[in-house]
Structure 1
Amino acid sequence: MASREAQLRELRQVKKVGRDTAYKLLAAGYTLFRLSNAEPSKIAEILGCSNKAAQEIINDAKSKLHAGEKLGEPLTAKEYEQFLKKRIIWFSSGSNAIDQLVGGGFRSSSTVGLSGPQATGKSQLILSTIVDCICNKGKYAMLIETELDTFDPLRVEGIARARGLIDKYDPDKLVVVDAYKVRDVATQFYYYELLRDMARDNKWDVGLIAVDSFTAMFQRKFKGREMFTDRKRELGRHLSFLEDMAKEFNAVVMLSCQVIEVPVSPEESKGGMDVVRVRAQFGTPYMPWGGHILRHTVGTWLSLEKGRSKNIWKAYLFDSSRVKLGECYFQITEKGITDVPEQLLKRLPS
């Protein structure tokens, strides 16, 4: 991560930002990058200036940040297809059924949302994909844990061992921010920046970036309807940054998300979403918490639920612009996420 002195120098390049102003901005947590994406009202409050003056500072920060960048030329559909063939890397979940459901695996330069109640396999799906990222692709994986006791390094090692990949597993390629460090949405965002800077400085070949759970801190901070606007703005800021990381490192971003329950009947919902409508849209009686800004921004959505049979889970692909929506069964074993044996699969409802 850039030193404090380097961050101050960057800020002082911005018009109307002198030494004292740079110190104020940095003390409030604003680097050049964060300043370029800031809300004018926030900067005006920190600096004691008008919104117009704050907007001028933000605009100049944007120009300084992107100085010297060359924007690419538009491509034809054929050229873009060739570009994707060279660029895209596919990461396996450990289950052929899930990989086929999402079009061949989780692809790099994309975002994946995993929703579902507790104990439906969201964290296990992330850990299984991390093993493929490190052992089979030889890349770094980054994980931000926001809830205590959801990540265990021995579980990742155990999955690699059970799959016969322990010789290829390098724990130094798994960079973890544990839940003891993530106290709120602000520190969660701070660690995006820190991990990005660490990857740049150390020239890590990053393949996967995961936040488990992405929405936990948001649920604690934004509790009432009067906070919807602020919640939407902050979600957009986080998602925009993570999308930029996915593009910069050609990595897949995986976000586990909590869900909300809905009224059982149309009468109880009073014209809103009821269980029938939610199941038709999301595959389960639950919908991801976070509203439209989250559901629209994330490119691929899987909704997970516990099956009726022992040790059987179900995944629903309820949103993807690339492949047909559908569903499949999977298991959670010592190998992580795996396929259901064929004999058992035949006895399950289609």
Structure 2
Amino acid sequence: MTPVPALTSVPALTSVPALAPVLAGAAACLLAAVGLRPVRRTVPYLGGVTLAAATAGAAVAIPGLPDRRVGAVLLAAAAVALLGLIADVGRLPLATRLIVESVAAGGVVLCGVQVTLTGDWLDGPVSVMWIVAMTNAYGLLDRLGGALAAVAAVTGAFLAGTALVLGDPFLAVLAAALAGAFLGALPYGRARGRVRLGPSASLFAGFVLTCTAAALTAGRGTAVIAAGLLLPALAAVVGAGAYAARRPRRSGQARKAAPALCCVSAGTGTAGLAVALGWVPAGVAAAVTAATAAAFLSHACLRRGRFPVVHPFHARRHRRDGLPARLRRDEVTRGRPVGASVRASSGEASGEASGGGRQRGRVPPPRSAGNPPPPYVRRG
């Protein structure tokens, strides 16, 4: 008589944590879709606050009493979302923003969400710096049209699956709720090809996703920690590097970045699931991800012009004042001002053609007070 209740109770215990992330994601998606429509018409600045409320409501209501880590992450992320709202409405100094984000990250670290690389007191500052850096990377990701919502939805879904594989249903519910909320935000704000959710939504998503990844890797090996931190952050790093290297000023350029970053996020999420299941070594995944991020960032720095490289055979193509580089160098070595011979020869030729060698017309006014105007030339 005793084995029968045990066999019947095991599926019930195992099905509730598995269905809770799905229910949380569906509830958050519904809340975000219903709440964003009137909010974006009346007060567009409150779109990120609506997404944060939908995520928190679904993450708390579905599983019941949340975990200590989940509660700390939601409270700190709410403070960061409020900070983003202030930055969206008015101006906020960078130092104030970094201080508030560091305090919020420090509160989360004190509640047990931290990067345990060394097992010493250095883990706290490293965790705070990592959370703040990735949160601001997602803030830059919002400037690429549609990329934030897509990357947050895909990354949150894969983090929820990874949390279920690792046996942490509370973090799975949190990640699934975030994914559902940003999935419900995709149809809104597509005016002129852009989906701008604001700094509040971007900072909230970056903070929650980074803290979820750090909590999933806490207490594990060094290779697993490196893979678990780098894989979810690769899409944000690539997007932030692409925006910093070449800021898209047209909506078409911004739209092209969203599908690529979504594919990057899906690939890294699949790799994270494979690492959690033990199909792929964690050290290999971490090394490949770090090499990819380093190569892309170096390429972005070169495109930005921080390390300009000009081939000597291409030096003649760089022109200034209408003169080739070779002629400009010859005139400087002779002690003559740049372009003087060309201007003198062109002036003499025009004077001879006009007859008498005198300049006709009014002399243009000087461009600065330190450059006195030439004498007025009377008409011939």
* TM-score bracket for this pair, using the shorter chain length: under 0.3
Larger radius of gyration between Structure 1 and Structure 2: 2
How does the TM-score come out when normalised to structure 1? Answer: 0.25
Q: Return the structure number with greater strand share.
A: 1
Q: Return the structure number with greater helix share.
A: 2
